Structure 1
């Protein structure tokens, strides 16, 4: 009984201190302390201690400061995030969700949907890629070649509540190039899927055709999904193509450095 009363008294005193008395630590000092703590601890522990701690933990200046310290900068300085804390965590988690996008591991992680002609192949790039780290690409043949990956957003750390509430930008990018001596075609389709793997929104531009005797330069396809509504749980990325002249071997479109990432809408 006595222990129960003491606990209740202590809880009451703590509650009174939290709600009625100001934090004994100056807020600017408290912010500096929070800047040096793990961000998850600031959100899940520090902000629950008292009203003043919660104010600092939720403040724009704190999360702008973390972005500045960790190098998360706006690509367009004229676009200011509505929520700097969300911007920080999206930047921190931002990464390519596609596995083996440049063919370093041959066809690993890709599901082959169509394997026409002499089938898919991985080889070195014919002309330098804009990203000098890209040294290999996937090559198509004289029959249609398509490959796909299915991204499970929950497995990648983007749970249903987060996706439905914030609906962050989903940016896709793909690089493709023809051979100079053979005509070819390129196709891409990216779908946002619900729990039953039914399409919520789809990006499927027209097929791109290249004539023979082209300059074989690299081209980039990009798209940003926004305001797609609740329910997105998976992303299916599919691309491919073929040569247009039915030549044996690998004269079709080349693809590499494909990317799917969750990113802040202002920085997509």
Structure 2
């Protein structure tokens, strides 16, 4: 079903539906590995916990009704979105190539340092490159046509206000059909409990240009082995 918004802003926002996995879990906490066709949650150490409101140890925010707090070992929330299945026309992705913006709110506990890796990648295939993205150890931000990565870190006893972060794709090649979103978080002091970073309100917007111009098919200069052989062991 097509979901073009007549205002010209683009398609309806896509909100990943993974909250139910935490609502069903004991103490709203996912430990170990939980995987389906649209999510990968890997809760190491004490796991990843859904906290109500703005979360423990940080400032509240009127737009944050629940958030997800990480523990003392790197843990993952991975989200896989089929853009076409979500209502984005394939020809639009190939020949209009609207902006694709992934946004979320992030925070940390004031009493503990924390680290967060926020990444996104456009793919040909479903659930592609989950291990590749998760294993990247570079401390620098990455800004490629199909893959972007932002590092966030907070020192102990610094302000704990919620802030918006976003990744935006604009100059991506034709042929993209899937989107992988990844958050990898841990606290910086190895404390038992949920002292790591917090994330909330993950949303994907596909924003059409004010004036639609059909563009020629754009070849992928970053295409690599994993595109043709995804998820090889």
Partner of 1:118, secondary structure, is: strand
Once the two structures are superposed, what CA deviation does each residue of 1:141-176 show, in whole Å capped at 9, x if it has no partner?
A: 011111111000121112322210111110111211
Give the aligned length.
179
Instruction: Give the TM-score taking structure 1 as reference length.
Output: 0.59
The aligned residue for residue 202 of structure 1 is: 147
The aligned residue for residue 87 of structure 2 is: 157
The CA RMSD over aligned residues, in Å, is: 2.9
Conserved? CA contact 2:14–2:86, under 8 Å: no
Conserved? CA contact 2:120–2:167, under 8 Å: no
The unaligned stretches of length 5 or more in structure 1 are 1-38, 41-65, 73-86
Conserved? CA contact 1:190–1:204, under 8 Å: yes
The aligned residue for residue 201 of structure 2 is: 257
- 2:58 maps to 1:140: no
Query: Post-superposition shift, 1:265?
Result: 3.7
CA distance in 2, matches of 1:101, 1:167: 30
Once the two structures are superposed, what CA deviation does each residue of 1:125-148 show, in whole Å capped at 9, x if it has no partner?
A: 23222xx24211000001111111
1:60-209 correspondence to structure 2 within 5 Å: 72=7, 87=8, 90=10, 93-100=11-18, 105=23, 110-112=39-41, 114-124=42-52, 125-126=54-55, 127-129=59-61, 132-195=62-125, 197=128, 201-205=146-150, 207-209=151-153
Instruction: Give the TM-score taking structure 2 as reference length.
Output: 0.68
| Change beyond 3 A, Cα 1:161–1:225 | same
Q: Which has the higher strand share?
A: 2
The aligned residue for residue 216 of structure 2 is: none
Say which structure, 1 or 2, has more relative contact order (CA 8 Å, 6+ apart).
2
The unaligned stretches of length 5 or more in structure 2 are 134-144, 212-233
| Change beyond 3 A, Cα 1:266–1:185 | farther
Query: Post-superposition shift, 1:94?
Result: 1.9
Q: Which has the higher helix share?
A: 1
Among candidates 224, 236, 241, match of residue 168 of structure 2 = 224
Conserved? CA contact 2:22–2:49, under 8 Å: no
| Change beyond 3 A, Cα 1:110–1:192 | same
